[in-house]
Amino acid sequence: MKASHVREDGSLTMVDVSGKAVTERYARAEALVRVNEQVAQALRGGTLAKGDAFVAAQIAGILAAKQTAALIPLAHSLPLAAVDVAFDWPEERVLRVRAQARTSAQTGVEMEAMVAAAIAALTIYDMTKALDKAIVIESVRLLEKRGGKGDVG
């Protein structure tokens, strides 16, 4: 399989999507944030000195999704119809950051969803690092994408 962003001579290129149809695109991603008990309690109780970490992370994730083309060199600028960032606790000390993105475009929004999840997770780290610098962000991954040839999930 040929890499989509690599020319025959090995140089890089932005994929030409001009011949593709505009379709509805959707992607869902997640990041896991492993924290200690003190951080988990502070997040759950809303007792951080910096303020509401979830609101800050949600806004950061949404803003990051909107800036994906500026962050990922060969990503296309997309007219995002919706971006959502949410949180839950699948384990006592594991915060799951869930992000989803939607557009009607010629290319998918999986990068936007993953960037939103990653930046929201980094914002949680930033908001809680005073309590524990050993927080681990892991498993930033695409869970689902729809609307193109290579649907996932």
The set of catalytic residues is 126
Angle at the Cα of 139 from the Cα atoms of 137 and 99, rounded to 5 degrees: 90
What is the rounded (10 degree) CA torsion for 146, 136, 129, 51?
A: 30
Nearest CA-CA partner of 106 in 2, 23, 13: 23
Q: Which residues pair with residue 83 across a beta bridge?
A: 101
